[in-house]
């Protein structure tokens, strides 16, 4: 972070109250928007907020929108506050602004970090045009339990994939130069281990080993910071008894001392206040003391820092050095954004009007959406649909446009949303006929709905069954115990399937689901997540074969809800199930220890064949590299894009190692008949982990490696990692 002399000069002149003000973040009641995304706390009206800005007691406002009013807030800060320090305007802009892109989990299914960089860039262009400098994104939490609703906001269950997407999103939001008027400050959140809440219940406690914390949950934060993110948001949960928002070991030890993070740490909404409810702080002042001294620079919405920090400094419980260090970071981020040179950056009403509808972003939304759709199964080549047929589009999502954006979309331009019916109708081939029947509502039956759906199915050559989770089933505070379809939709699916007409499921979901009955047994299943503004067009592109599906699951689809937390890279047990033996083995009475559809799985319209995985040598020298190869061929008649995945497994470790772990991937276009050799280079860094003694590094020994189409496919080949002193045989 660049050092700006104006920061020191301001620090020298600021009162304690003004310093605490720079560390205080309040809801933007001047330009309020969707205030109900957070519980109400410390309510203020617009005049009070402006007065706080004028008094230098509010350095950042969040979740407001609009360039013209933003300019007015900034004018008060710059012209009417004593020191003229510009305000920072923040918002939750998670997966799109006016144009809505797929939920992050869906976009991760593309296995194309570059796509995520592009959608984050487009998001930044639109958000900064609308008077926002700072986004509370990306969420980089690893979600290994699908009951947790906030998996929708991250990149799924895998750390390697999570790191790639975390870095890409930061690069997209922040752009090449943070000072540019269309660069949006990024926040890696929620630090840390928020995705590891017990039983997948939001806000719950986290009991976790140091190794799992370090190897699974922390790396995406490191990746985001290495990509340049200058903000981190703390998590609500405790970790082994210490709330993340007052966790010195994490906020100071890991972030500052180990990683050298120069940026700011902001609390999640009222997370300092919640230390009292956690029973970790006795009262508001104690909560302030604990959060601040642990390393939380900024307090969001509670008002605790504004209220208690000056007195804590006066009493000597907080040192002036510590206070100044936090203020220095916040002011330095403002300087890095160019706010001291141009406080009105990103507050240009003309640009806001120009950016309100950008056709290039609409095209990108369609591209991102169709590249996020996963084809789980395709019996008898049910897809793509051939022309001239009678199609019944059935289900509560058929006509719906209220459940296409997904969670955490505050500012989307709903007038431009394209639902399934509109998209499919627009793409109907000549001679095809479309019948549309709701069948039921999202959670309740409709009078005569099932009968109408069954009649339409009987008349049709194929049914497109649009079922899944309502959008509010995922996101914050939306944990589930049963990750299945609402019963009324399952019943609709059974009735429609009983007609015998081939069924193609268009699944709407914010997490991996346990598919059951007629939905699980349909001829074809497309996982369509929440795809955003261009949902209908994107689904139609895939259904009619204008675009071949190329996405892969970033989360394991289990056989049953009760398997949760189920993730592919689980540690080995002492009694693994084998094809020959399942008695006295690690499995459930009802289900195997496996996924119905594993992580990494997804089909295209080609037919992909993998050659054997080979290694160039039997051993990898400690400082050497080893090439791992396989040939991949499209034996089908249609073009395809294959996500070729590299998995590793450490046979013996000082801590029990995962059954396999993703260590590389590449998306390859393959024309019909085309064959390509894929090569991954391995070094010992890829097999490093937190060892039993707490150190990080590789352990010499034997490893298995796969080049495979999913976490459950392929045959491994093995190699030896030689110890440091050994030379190659
Ligand atoms: C709570 C959420 O946990 C966080 O992700 C979000 O940024 C804040 N509220 C602010 O809205």
Domain of residue 655, CATH code: 2.60.40.10
Pocket test for ligand 1, best of 36, 204, 268, 477 (most atoms within 8 A of CB): 268
Q: For residue 504, what is the enclosing H or E element?
A: strand 503-508
CA dihedral 566, 568, 572, 573 (to 10 degrees): 30
- Please tell me the residue having the least CA distance from ligand 1 atom 1: 269
User: Cα(555)–Cα(536) distance, rounded to whole angstroms?
Assistant: 24
Task: Record the tokens describing residue 213, joined without a space.
Answer: 């914390």
DSSP state of 451: H
Domain boundary among 516, 550, 584: 550
pLDDT score for 727: 65
φ, ψ of residue 314 in degrees (nearest 5):
-60, -35
- Residue bearing tokens 């061929």: 633
pLDDT for the residue 33: 77
Report the chain's terminal Cα–Cα distance, integer Å.
47
Query: What secondary structure letter does DSSP report for 722?
Result: P
Rounded to whole angstroms, the Cα distance separating 347 from 129 reads 7
Dist. CA 117–CA 155, nearest whole Å? 13
pTM: 0.98
Tens-digit pLDDT profile for residues 428-460: 999 999 999 999 999 999 999 999 999 999 999
580 within domain boundaries = no
Phi/psi for 237 (5° steps) reads: -75, 160
Q: Ligand 1: which of 38, 139, 193 to mutate, judged by most atoms within 8 Å of the beta carbon?
A: 38
Give ∠ CA 220-158-701 in degrees, rounded to 5. 95
Average pLDDT over residues 616-621: 97
Helices (H), 40-112: 46-54, 67-75, 104-108
Nearest atom of ligand 1 to the alpha carbon of 92: 7
* Mean pLDDT (whole number) for 293-304: 98
Q: How many CB atoms lie within 10 A of CB 585?
A: 14
Ligand 1 centroid vs 233 CA: distance in angstroms?
9
pLDDT tens digits along 695-710: 999 999 999 999 999 9
Q: Quote the number of domains for the chain.
A: 2
pLDDT in tens, 20-79: 999 999 999 999 877 789 999 999 999 999 999 999 999 999 999 999 999 999 999 999
Q: How many angstroms separate the CA atoms of 262 and 230, rounded?
A: 7
CA 576 to chain centre: 31
Domain end (from 517, 535, 550): 550
For residues 261 and 251, the answer to whether their CB atoms sit within 8 Å is: no
Q: Are residues 487 and 621 in the same domain?
A: no
- Weakest mean pLDDT among 319-323, 690-694, 722-726: 722-726
Q: What angle is formed at CA 627 by the lines to CA 108 and CA 157, rounded to 5 degrees? A: 25
Across the strands, what pairs with 462?
Answer: 391
Residue of 145, 158, 182, 268 marked active site:
268
Q: Rounded CA gap, 232 and 267, in Å?
A: 8
The CA 38 to ligand 1 mean position distance, Å, reads 7
Give the distance from CA 286 to its chain's centroid: 33
* Rounded distance between C-alpha atoms, residue 559 and residue 370, angstroms: 26
Give the binding-site residues of ligand 1, using a 6 Å CB cut-off.
Answer: 37-38, 63, 92, 136, 189, 268-269, 476
Q: What is the largest CA-CA distance in the chain?
A: 81
In percent, the amount of the chain with pLDDT more than 70 equals: 99
Quote the distance between the C-alpha of residue 175 and its chain's center. Answer: 19
* CA–centroid distance, residue 290 to ligand 1 (Å): 21
Say yes or no to pLDDT of 728 above 70: no
Mean pLDDT of the chain: 97
Roughly what angle, to the nearest 10 degrees, separates helices 113-129 and 159-174? 30
614 and 539 within one domain: no
Protein residue with its CA nearest to atom 10 in ligand 1: 269
Around Cβ 186, how many Cβ atoms within 10 Å?
Answer: 30
Atom of ligand 1 nearest to the CA of 37: 11
Q: Which pLDDT value is given to residue 6?
A: 97
Residue 205 lies inside a defined structural domain of this protein: no
Express each pLDDT in 406-426 by its tens digit: 999 999 999 999 999 999 999
CA 189 – ligand 1 centroid, Å: 9
**Confidence (pLDDT) at 36:** 80
Which of 35, 136, 267 is the best mutation target for the ligand 1 pocket, counting ligand atoms within 8 Å of the beta carbon and taking the most? 136
* Whole-angstrom distance, CA of residue 633 vs CA of residue 613: 13
Q: Which of 369, 615, 709, 413 is nearest to 508 (CA)?
A: 369
- pLDDT score at 276: 98
Q: For atom 4 of ligand 1, which residue has the closest CA?
A: 268
Q: How far, in Å, is the centroid of ligand 1 from the Cα of 727?
A: 52
Ligand 1 closest atom vs CA 187 = 7
Predicted confidence (pLDDT) at residue 664 exceeds the cutoff of 90: yes
pLDDT over 80 (residue 619)? yes
pLDDT at position 701:
98
Residues 527 and 619 in one domain: no
Of 269, 272, 153, nearest to 220 by C-alpha is 153
Instruction: Tell me the residue range of the domain where 502 lies.
Output: 373-550
Q: Please give the pLDDT value at position 578.
A: 87
User: Does residue 191 lie in a domain region?
Assistant: no
Note the pLDDT of residue 582.
Answer: 82
**Shared domain check, 618 and 537:** no
Residues 531 and 424 in one domain: yes
Residues whose CB is less than 8 angstroms from the CB of residue 16 and which lie 6 or more positions away in sequence, other chains included: 309, 310, 313, 314, 323
Please report the pLDDT score of residue 200 as a whole number: 98
Q: Among the residues of 382-534, which ranges form H helices?
A: 420-427, 449-459, 487-497, 517-520
Handedness of CA 401, 403, 406, 408 (dihedral sign): positive
Distance 408 CA to ligand 1 centre (A): 9
- CA–CA separation, 571 vs 215, rounded Å? 13
Which residue's C-alpha comes closest to atom 7 of ligand 1? 136
How does pLDDT run across 204-259, given as a tens digit for each residue? 999 999 999 999 999 999 999 999 999 999 999 999 999 999 999 999 999 999 99
CA of 269 to the centre of ligand 1 (A): 6
- Note whether 477 and 378 are same-domain residues: yes
Give just the sign of the alpha carbon dihedral 412, 416, 420, 424.
negative
Shared-domain flag, residues 508 and 611? no
Please report the pLDDT score of residue 604 as a whole number: 98
Tell me the pLDDT tens digit for each residue of 667-706: 999 999 999 999 999 999 999 999 999 999 999 999 999 9
User: Which residues have CB under 8 Å from 608's CB, separation 6+?
Assistant: 632, 633, 634, 635, 636, 640, 642, 670, 709
Which of 550, 574, 592 finishes a domain? 550
616 is catalytic: no
- Our separate counts of H helices and E strands in the chain read 21, 29
For residue 42, report the distance from its CA to the centre of ligand 1, in Å. Answer: 16
Looking at residue 2, its pLDDT comes to 79
Ligand 1 centroid, distance to 268 Cα (angstroms): 6
In a domain, 557, yes or no: no
Q: How far is CA 476 from CA 33, 173, 234, 482, 510, in A?
A: 17, 22, 15, 17, 12
pLDDT of residue 729: 61
Sign of CA dihedral 528, 538, 401, 493: negative
Which residue is it, tokens 């926040």?
187
Name 467's Cβ contacts closer than 8 Å, sequence gap at least 6.
Answer: 395, 396, 397, 485, 489, 490, 492, 493, 505, 506, 507, 508, 519
Same domain, 530 and 607: no
User: Residue whose CA is closest, atom 9 of ligand 1?
Assistant: 269
Could you give the CA distance from residue 127 to residue 346 in angstroms, rounded to a whole number? 8
Q: What is the pLDDT of residue 218?
A: 98
In a domain, 50, yes or no: no
The answer to whether residue 297 sits within a structural domain is no
485 shares a domain with 402: yes
101 found inside a domain: no
Q: How large a percentage of the chain has pLDDT more than 90?
A: 96
Is the pLDDT reported for residue 185 higher than 80? yes
Q: Are 701 and 619 members of one domain? A: yes
379 shares its domain with 472: yes
Select from 22, 683, 646 the least CA-distant residue to 324.
Answer: 22
Tell whether 607 and 512 lie within a shared domain.
no
State mean pLDDT over 549-566. Answer: 98
Asked whether residue 127 is domain-assigned, the answer is no
Residue written as token pair 């009078």 = 447
Q: How confident is the model at residue 138 (pLDDT cuts 50, 70, 90)?
A: very high
Residue 241's contacts (CB-CB under 8 Å, 6 or more residues apart) are none
What pLDDT shows up at residue 334?
A: 98
Over 80: is that where the pLDDT of 316 sits? yes
pLDDT of residue 661: 98
What is the position in ligand 1's atom list of the atom closest to the CA of 189? 5
Nearest to 360 by CA among 126, 197, 83, 636: 126
Residue 110 has pLDDT above 80, yes or no: yes
Distance 235 CA to ligand 1 centre (A): 9
Structure tokens at 479: 């944990």
Q: Which of 37, 265, 300, 407 to mutate to test the pocket of ligand 1 (most atoms within 8 A of CB)?
A: 37
DSSP 661: E
* CATH of residue 377: 3.40.50.1700
SS3 581: strand
- In whole angstroms, give the CA distance from residue 538 to residue 375: 13
CB 560 within 8 Å of CB 671? no
Q: Which of 92, 134, 202, 411 to mutate to test the pocket of ligand 1 (most atoms within 8 A of CB)?
A: 92
């Amino acid at each position: 972070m660049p050092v700006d002399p104006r920061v020191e000069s301001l620090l020298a002149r600021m009162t304690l109250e003004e310093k605490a003000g720079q560390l205080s973040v309040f809801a933007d009641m001047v330009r309020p928007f969707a205030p109900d995304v957070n519980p109400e706390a410390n309510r203020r009206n617009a005049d009070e907020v402006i007065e706080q800005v004028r008094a230098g007691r509010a350095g950042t406002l969040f979740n407001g929108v609009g360039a013209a009013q933003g300019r007015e807030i900034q004018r008060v800060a710059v012209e009417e506050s004593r020191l003229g320090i510009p305000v920072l305007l923040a918002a939750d802009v998670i997966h799109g602004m006016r144009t809505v892109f797929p939920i992050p989990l869906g976009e991760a299914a593309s296995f194309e970090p570059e796509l995520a960089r592009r959608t984050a860039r487009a998001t930044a262009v639109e958000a900064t045009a609308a008077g926002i400098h700072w986004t509370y994104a990306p969420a980089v939490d690893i979600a290994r339990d699908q009951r947790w609703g906030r998996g929708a906001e991250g990149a799924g269950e895998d750390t390697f994939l999570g790191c790639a997407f975390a870095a890409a999103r930061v690069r997209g939001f922040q752009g090449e130069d943070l000072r540019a008027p269309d660069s949006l400050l990024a926040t890696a959140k929620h630090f840390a281990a928020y995705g590891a809440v017990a039983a997948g219940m939001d806000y719950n406690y986290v009991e976790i080993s140091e190794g799992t914390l370090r190897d699974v949950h922390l790396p995406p934060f490191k990746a985001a910071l290495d990509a340049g993110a200058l903000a981190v948001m703390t998590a609500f949960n405790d970790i082994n008894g210490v709330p993340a928002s007052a966790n010195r070991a994490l906020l100071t030890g890991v972030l500052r001392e180990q990683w050298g993070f120069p940026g700011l740490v902001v609390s999640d909404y009222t997370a300092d206040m919640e230390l009292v409810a956690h029973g970790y702080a006795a009262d508001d002042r104690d909560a302030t003391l604990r959060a601040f001294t642990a390393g939380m620079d900024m307090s969001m919405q509670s008002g605790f820092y504004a209220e208690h920090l000056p007195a804590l400094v006066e009493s000597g419980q907080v040192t002036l050095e510590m206070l100044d260090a936090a203020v220095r970071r916040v002011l330095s981020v403002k300087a890095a954004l160019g706010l001291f040179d141009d406080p009105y950056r990103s507050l240009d009403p003309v640009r806001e009007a120009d950016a309100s509808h950008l056709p290039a972003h609409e095209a990108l939304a369609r591209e991102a959406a169709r590249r996020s759709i996963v084809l789980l199964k395709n019996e008898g080549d049910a897809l793509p649909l051939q022309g001239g047929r009678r199609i019944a589009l059935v289900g509560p999502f058929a006509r719906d446009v209220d459940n296409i954006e997904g969670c955490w979309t505050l500012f989307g331009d709903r007038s431009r949303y394209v639902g399934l019916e509109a998209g499919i109708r627009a793409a109907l081939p000549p001679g095809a006929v479309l019948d549309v029947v709701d069948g039921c509502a999202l959670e309740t039956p409709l009078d005569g709905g099932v009968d109408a759906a069954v009649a339409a199915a009987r008349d049709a050559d194929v049914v497109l069954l649009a079922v899944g989770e309502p959008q509010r089933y995922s996101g914050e505070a939306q944990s589930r115990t049963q990750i299945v379809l609402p019963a009324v939709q399952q019943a609709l699916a059974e009735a429609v399937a009983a007609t015998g007409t081939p069924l193609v499921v268009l699944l709407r979901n914010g997490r991996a689901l346990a598919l059951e009955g007629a939905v699980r047994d349909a001829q074809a299943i497309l996982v369509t997540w929440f795809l955003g503004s261009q949902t209908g067009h994107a689904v139609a592109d895939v259904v009619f074969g204008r675009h071949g599906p190329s996405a892969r699951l970033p989360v394991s689809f289990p056989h049953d809800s009760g398997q949760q937390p189920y993730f592919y890279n689980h540690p080995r047990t002492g009694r693994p199930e084998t094809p020959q033996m399942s008695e006295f083995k690690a499995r459930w009475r009802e289900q195997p220890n496996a996924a119905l559809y594993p992580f990494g799985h997804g089909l295209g319209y080609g037919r992909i064949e993998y050659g054997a995985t080979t290694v160039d040598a039997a051993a990898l020298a400690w400082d050497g590299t080893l090439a791992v190869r396989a040939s991949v061929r499209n034996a089908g008649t249609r073009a395809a894009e294959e996500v070729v995945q590299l998995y590793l497994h450490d046979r013996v470790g000082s801590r029990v190692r995962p059954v396999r772990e993703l260590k590389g991937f590449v998306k390859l276009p393959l024309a019909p008949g085309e064959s390509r050799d894929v090569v991954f280079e391995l070094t010992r860094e890829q097999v490093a982990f937190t060892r039993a003694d707490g150190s990080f590094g590789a352990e010499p020994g034997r490893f298995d490696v796969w080049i495979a189409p999913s976490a459950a496919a392929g045959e491994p080949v093995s190699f030896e990692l030689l110890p440091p002193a050994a030379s190659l045989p």
